[in-house]
Structure 1
Amino acid sequence: MLKFLGFVVILAVLRGCNAQTSAAYLLQSHSLPTDRNFMPTLGNGHLGYTVYGDAIFMNGVYNGGSGNSKRARIPNWLNITTEVCDRFGCATDAEAAVNGTSYEMDLRDGYFRSRTTYNGLGLTLEQRTYPHKYYNRALVYEVVATRNSENAARANSPQFLRLSQHPGNASDAFDFVVVSNGSSASGDFRTIRGRTEILEFERFQPTPQEIYILFSQYLEQPLQLEWPTWQAELRHRIIICMDREQSVALKELQDVLQLSASSLLEKHTDAWHNFWNRDFSIALVGNAPELSQIINAGIFYLANSLPSLSTNQKNEPFYGLSPTGLGRGNLEADYQGHNFWDTEIWMLPVVTHFGFEYGKQLLDYRGRKLEAAKYNARSKGYKGARFPWESAYTGTEVTNPCCPEVAQQEIHISPDISFALQKFLAQSGDWTWVCEKAWPIAAEVAEFVVSRAACEEFRPVCHLLNVMGPDEDHPDVDDNVYTNAVSKIALEFAEWAGGYCGNDSTELFANWRRVNDRLVILHDTELDYHPQHAGYVVNTTIKQADTILLGYPLRYDLSNTHLNDLNIYAKVTRESGPAMTWSMFAVNHLTSKEEWVGHEYFERGYKNYVRPEFKVWSETPLGYEGSANFLTGIGGFLQAIIYGYGGINFVRNNDKISMIVSFGTVPLGVDEVQVNYLRYSHSTCRWVFSNRYSRMNCGARTGPDFYMVQGKKRTLLGRSFNVTLVKGDEPVHITF
């Protein structure tokens, strides 16, 4: 009994964080989604789960061979519910207040809670769950029961709490054994060891993966906590810690249990507050409360799958962002937790603004899997590195056996990664990183593109044959224009990076340049547009954004031809396409100063894709089957705000990088957008824009001075500067 009383605290501590949370960061509902897949997904880069779901997942832990590899499901022992009971039974929903239970996702504090008030019993029951952002091997469940009136302290008022665990079925991914049953007398903990059942690919994974799970308290059957009627409040917590190393999980649990419940929560909320206050946030001024919540929820769901940069113990290597995040991955709808081009093209441009270290963690995953990508190329008779369409633990191809043509033909993933390396350089200005990390990947990607290209013998023309572009409705086509364009960008970047980093292989560079110069970019001169692929017929329906990506993000063609592409492909993109498609139409129209069309596509890109209760994204519009917690759609949506409405971009021109700052505009109903913060080189910037002005405020403690280039005029700005644009001003380039 004394063991439980140690967790009794003043309820004000529990409510303190919530009281400070503004409506823009607090998602409240009195009902749950009919499809529980659209409950919030929580994570900390090491562990993740969906609230009330049956699975916990750990960064980088997969089970299954080749295309059957998927995130290894750990039963969700954190899925705990509490009832208030007395000797006659437990309280029912009928005894709750009129509105029943309130469910809250607190984005600013980083936790999910439910709160039930039983008016007739004079008490409130609160339950909270979260993966700790600082103690990131720890998952936390807390419950607080409070008597709300003096009349509640009577003989027949609730006398105990009953905690029950709902972990779901046994896992088919692990062989679990009990290492220790735990003993309160010895201070030991219930410890389980799990080994994955099936290797992904023995050449790159010779042994199973092993994890250890430690419980502060293990509920083999419902736990009964005595609650004397004279006691106003009762609080209890259960901590579960997991790691590949038993010693790491044990230290985490010991460190956590040394803290009071309020201190543990404060350490977690402080970490999230630091993210919102120092790393990244977007604030809207004006009458757009729902849009504000959707933006904040999108940032939160994207960020909580990333590694915490400040942790109690050193992080393990990160295994990338899958389309539905770290807390999902057991289902085909979750893409089994695999990594796609979604990481580099759709999420990385936003994640990099959270901080360059976040971006490096995503790109480092590709660097660590370079040898596997080279193996993938050799196994198909090619040179260089062919990154798989779907990648998991080993970096070899793990595309679902249902769809072999996707794995064989979507070769644009390799130049996509090279393109992302160049964009990261253009934003970070990290010249040391480009030679140590980017150049080795870019060189191998260029070698793959050259070996994959089919060059005609008697004409100066090269093709990429039998490919599939982003539009997966059209397999086995030749010269998909997106694939060819991003390949040309990758070849140019590899040649530049090689020269910059001191490689003097003129023959190698000449070979890359020859293919780059000759690689076909289809253009219909009569209609002045880019056919999506050889033989494409105008008005043929397509799945998603493909050719229009030549404008943004590739910046390959910004001419009138690009505007014609937008108009032609808008008419034929199917209604059931993924969310990020309409965001890309929005960005491209907004940056082309076609603002009203941009507004239309921007709203289309989120209004039919976000579930109302907790602002969780779906891959497809409501009414269609699709993935939940679709981070890819979130990435496209946030790019539409930052790069479309905000009008900024980052470019490399030989050995110079620059930030392009254009006069921005704002979504309908919004007076001003405040982006805190943009990362550019050695500075941190605040970007504020409206329909009347755009202001860039940047500051840096160290590094070279910045210059502003506008037309032929070059102005010294110094390390810290303010730039204001009004409507009609030409874009400026900030460089150094």
Structure 2
Amino acid sequence: MQRQMTPIVVLGIFLLILASALYITAEDSVYKLKTEKLPTDLNFMPILGNGHLGYTVFGDAIYMNGIYNGEAGNSRRARIPNWLNLSVSRLQYEEWELNIIPDTYELNLKDGYFRWLFAYEANGLHVQLEQRTYPHRYYNRALIYELFVHYTGAFDPLLIHLSRKPGSKSDAFDFSPLGTNSSTFGTKMLRGVTRQLEHPDFQSELRTIFVAFSDDWENELSRTFELPAGQEDFYYRYVMTADGNEKVARKEMEDVMTLTIENLLKKHTNEWHNFWLNFNIQIDGSIELSQTINAGIFYLANSLPSLHTKQPNDAYFGLSPTGLGRGQLDTDYEGHSFWDTEIWMLPTVTQLNTDWADQLFEYRFDHMSGARYNANKTGYRGARFPWESAYTGTDVTNPCCPEISTQEIHISPDIIFALQQHYAVTHSTEWLCRVAWPMGKEVADFLVSRVYDDGQKYHIKDVMGPDEDHANVTDNVYTNVVTKKALEFTSFVRPLCTENFDPPANWLDIAQRLHILYDESLDFHPQHFGYERGEIIKQADVILLGYPLQYQMDNSTRLNDLNIYEPVTRASGPAMSWSMFAINFLDVGEIEKANKYFQRGYKDYVRPEFKVWSENRMGFVGSANFLTGIGGFLQAIINGYGGIRFHLHDAGHSVMEVRKAHLIADYGFIINGIKFANSTFALKIHKNGTTLCCLKKGSLDIEFLVNAEVYKINDNFTINIVDNAAFIRTI
């Protein structure tokens, strides 16, 4: 039996909405991903999010920031059924019935929404149909589905059959109905309570969420709307809001439902447009590469919190390898935070917006108690950040892999190295003393208790480096170098943030005497004690000493490291390894090899329809929406081909180095929005050299140094750089 439903709004503005690529111009085709066919694996549909809520288009799950279910290693993002997963299944006119197969699927990166389009024309009858879905970027507790139908040439009503596919019942929540409230349009609400605590000593109560719906579908999986003959336009809006606070969920629904069609979208697109104005990369002459870059930036950004919202944001609970729109599956790493955040994603995130980087560090800072617990539980002092963390900050590493939990201790100095790099970019002493110093000193205490002294050198035993094919090793060179850097940075910070001007003697002693393996005869770094040349490794490990760690060594040593580990790195390894080979080969002047690995680092990993990344090459099992790979890829552009590096000088300066830049496969490019010392720069790489412009001068005084010349920087500063490295430093 067919039901006649009243749409929320019927307005004669469909053609305006159908042309709703607001602000999109012909030059913006690099921001539109269109296809006539969906990926064969729907895991590679676009992932949409706003830092509070996220989902995969046409998927069966919605996830909320900070909401996990399960104890210890079984903790994972708590799945909310995807009640927003609506789609028109068929149209009916008299005896004529048509199953809907959209003509076009489109992800609009600039405006931040996904839509699917269908058009039919026969015997004078014209039907145009658009469906659109997005997590609202300003009203960020809200998820939106919209349906537009334009209908002409008809003598009888058109029946629109709308289906909903939320997936199975959640095994993470117990949901119960709440009463309606007339002030929120009779909104139906559910109260959801998770079923398990992550760690009873750090989580006293189960997590509770409140979900509101603009229309009460109850348990219905389909609806029929009737569009009378003569009524040309039809619009239906379905909204979900969700929050840990019932009043916030209700208020967000009320605010969204009072908006006109135009204002609802405009409030959302304004936020995305402001984001793209703040940072973008323009490639000259390659739409395919431009789209891949823009999609990567989009997927990374839409898992991060909206920076301008109607309701204040809750605390952010970390950037996991596959983002906020995924997280229940083991292949999604259960939505946990790893070293991926600090080493692979943060360098790019900082350039997108330094406030986002601050929030990621706040997540670590707010969970220091879990890191202290983890160190103490394993017999050490200070703070030891767990390999995987979620809600409580305690160790939630998957039970499959206990050796990873106990041996990949490099995550703690990784975090301190990331703090160092962030300070080099922002030069914020207030942040340094409030966040970096408390974290650094406790990690230093852990590292001091973790090393052992043989009388000549310090060593670190029983560890696993980034190469997870080799467990239980001694003196993994990556682990030791990043430990050395963490102790040196913490020693540097102490006199800036305390009255104790001399660091504990053992911090610098350990940093100076820590054994960094080096084979003098072959002029290379063995990966760990006992490593034999030719042994296969999972991913980039030793080569990370050059970049990102920027460990000082002869150019010949760095080249030998690359040539030795290049042929033994697993072909099935993760995408970011090849991006690191690209950056490091650029640094040693091997441009052809760099280009080879840059191409390999994305072309084998990006699915063509919506430029969604896989953790592993096509044909190998791996995660979808692999933000870690995106982070490495974007570093290859910004820090590799763009030549941008950040340092701390012994005299206390923060320094942005602009090395010799390189064209990407003969393409020139522009990076707009490089952040340094409160200022923003544009870097244009062209065949005759590099042009650096100061787009916006910040509050810190900075100066430019090149060829022994020093220039004061202001808003109008522009300089051409040909071959020599140039430096911008704080005064």
Tell me the TM-score normalized by structure 1: 0.95
| Equivalent of 1:358 in 338, 356, 359 | 356
List per-residue Cα deviations over 1:226-253 (Å, max 9, x = no partner).
Answer: 2001111111000000000000000000
| Equivalent of 1:304 in 294, 299, 302 | 302
* 1:704 and 1:719 in contact (8 A); partners too: no
* 1:9 and 1:235 in contact (8 A); partners too: no
Alignment match, 2:432: 434
The CA deviation at 1:714 is: 3.3
* 2:444 and 2:487 in contact (8 A); partners too: yes
| Equivalent of 1:644 in 622, 640, 643 | 640
**1:661 and 2:658 correspond:** yes
Q: What amino acid maps onto 1:696 in structure 2? A: L
**C-alpha distance in structure 1 between counterparts of 2:689 and 2:466, whole Å:** 36
The CA deviation at 1:579 is: 0.2
Change (3 A) 1:185 1:617: closer
| Equivalent of 2:520 in 522, 525, 529 | 525
| Equivalent of 1:29 in 31, 35, 38 | 35
List per-residue Cα deviations over 1:605-652 (Å, max 9, x = no partner).
Answer: 001000000000000000000000000000000000000000011100
Alignment match, 1:696: 692
* 1:585 and 1:601 in contact (8 A); partners too: yes
* 2:680 and 2:697 in contact (8 A); partners too: no
Q: What amino acid maps onto 2:132 in structure 1? A: R
Q: Secondary structure at the match of 1:263?
A: helix
Change (3 A) 1:124 1:699: closer
Alignment match, 1:127: 131
Alignment match, 1:548: 543
**C-alpha distance in structure 2 between counterparts of 1:358 and 1:568, whole Å:** 37
Q: What amino acid maps onto 1:324 in structure 2? A: T
- Aligned residues: CA RMSD: 1.7
The CA deviation at 1:557 is: 3.0
Q: Which sits farther off after the overlay, 603-612 or 19-28?
A: 19-28
Q: Which sits farther off after the overlay, 84-93 or 225-234?
A: 84-93
* 1:177 and 1:194 in contact (8 A); partners too: yes
**1:61 and 2:61 correspond:** no
The CA deviation at 1:389 is: 0.3
* 2:59 and 2:85 in contact (8 A); partners too: yes
**C-alpha distance in structure 2 between counterparts of 1:412 and 1:13, whole Å:** 54
Alignment match, 1:535: 530
Q: Which sits farther off after the overlay, 216-225 or 630-639?
A: 216-225
**1:163 and 2:162 correspond:** yes
Alignment match, 1:113: 115
The CA deviation at 1:701 is: 4.8
* 1:13 and 1:262 in contact (8 A); partners too: no
**C-alpha distance in structure 2 between counterparts of 1:102 and 1:59, whole Å:** 31
Q: Secondary structure at the match of 2:584?
A: helix
List per-residue Cα deviations over 1:382-429 (Å, max 9, x = no partner).
Answer: 011100000100000000000000000000000000000000000011
Q: What amino acid maps onto 1:44 in structure 2? A: N
**C-alpha distance in structure 1 between counterparts of 2:183 and 2:448, whole Å:** 67
| Equivalent of 1:514 in 509, 515, 523 | 509
Q: What amino acid maps onto 2:369 in structure 1? A: E
| Equivalent of 1:707 in 691, 703, 706 | 703
Alignment match, 1:102: 104
Q: Secondary structure at the match of 1:17?
A: coil
**C-alpha distance in structure 1 between counterparts of 2:183 and 2:422, whole Å:** 54
Change (3 A) 1:471 1:503: farther
| Equivalent of 1:595 in 572, 591, 597 | 591
**C-alpha distance in structure 2 between counterparts of 1:692 and 1:386, whole Å:** 48
**C-alpha distance in structure 1 between counterparts of 2:436 and 2:95, whole Å:** 67
Q: Secondary structure at the match of 2:255?
A: helix
> Within 5 Å, which residues of 2 pair with 1:486-505?
486-504=482-500
Q: Secondary structure at the match of 1:18?
A: coil
* 1:662 and 1:725 in contact (8 A); partners too: no
**C-alpha distance in structure 2 between counterparts of 1:56 and 1:377, whole Å:** 34
Q: Which runs of 5+ in 2 are unaligned?
A: none
Q: What amino acid maps onto 1:673 in structure 2? A: F
**1:443 and 2:441 correspond:** yes
Change (3 A) 1:183 1:2: farther
* 1:705 and 1:719 in contact (8 A); partners too: no
Change (3 A) 1:657 1:212: same
* 2:459 and 2:474 in contact (8 A); partners too: yes
**C-alpha distance in structure 2 between counterparts of 1:548 and 1:185, whole Å:** 60
* 2:368 and 2:439 in contact (8 A); partners too: yes
Alignment match, 2:191: 193
| Equivalent of 2:468 in 463, 466, 472 | 472
**C-alpha distance in structure 2 between counterparts of 1:185 and 1:668, whole Å:** 59
Q: Secondary structure at the match of 2:654?
A: strand
Tell me the TM-score normalized by structure 2: 0.96
Alignment match, 2:155: 154
Change (3 A) 1:269 1:717: closer
**C-alpha distance in structure 2 between counterparts of 1:114 and 1:711, whole Å:** 55
Q: Secondary structure at the match of 1:4?
A: coil
List per-residue Cα deviations over 1:678-730 (Å, max 9, x = no partner).
Answer: 0111211111112321111114455343222336443333465222111x324
Percent identical among aligned pairs is: 49
* 1:453 and 1:465 in contact (8 A); partners too: yes
| Equivalent of 2:397 in 391, 396, 399 | 399
**1:611 and 2:612 correspond:** no
The CA deviation at 1:161 is: 1.7
Alignment match, 1:85: 92
Alignment match, 1:231: 231
* 2:372 and 2:383 in contact (8 A); partners too: yes
**1:47 and 2:53 correspond:** yes
* 1:659 and 1:735 in contact (8 A); partners too: no
**C-alpha distance in structure 1 between counterparts of 2:84 and 2:642, whole Å:** 41
Q: Secondary structure at the match of 1:483?
A: helix
Alignment match, 2:459: 463
Alignment match, 2:724: 729
Q: Secondary structure at the match of 1:119?
A: strand
* 2:18 and 2:130 in contact (8 A); partners too: no
Alignment match, 1:329: 327
Q: Secondary structure at the match of 1:402?
A: coil
**C-alpha distance in structure 1 between counterparts of 2:201 and 2:590, whole Å:** 52
The CA deviation at 1:13 is: 2.8
**1:265 and 2:265 correspond:** yes
Q: Secondary structure at the match of 2:362?
A: helix
